[in-house]
Amino acid sequence: MRYRLTFVVGLALGYVLGTRAGRERYEQLKKSAREISQNPAVRNTVESATQQGREVAGKAFHTVSDRVGDRMPDSVAERVRSLREKGQGAEDDWGTSNT
């Protein structure tokens, strides 16, 4: 309940401050965010973090697979297998490759 109240208060505060700032400030913030996201250093950092995350997830997958083994229900194992195959070489929602 506490977290809901905090979320609602934050949402209301953001709305009030946003309406006071107006459209011009919104456009300025949007432009700044776009410039930051298109910065080559930021893009390289994001790609490096993504790659490291995939490597860690792969290691975790193998560790869990070794420990769980055949105790995993077939329906879950098949779903994981199909998701892995679907993701191989495809682009994600952000337009980056899943390599």
Confidence of residue 94 (pLDDT cuts 50, 70, 90): low
d(CA 26, CA 32): 10
Cβ-contact 37, 29 below 8 angstroms: no
How many Cβ atoms are within 10 Å of 72's Cβ, its own excluded? 13
- 97 in Cβ contact with 89 (< 8 Å): yes
pTM above 0.85, yes or no: no
Q: What is the pLDDT of residue 35?
A: 93
The Cα 68–Cα 65 span in angstroms is: 5
pLDDT digits (tens, 9 = 90+) for 7-64: 888 888 888 887 877 888 878 888 998 999 899 999 999 999 999 999 998 888 888 8
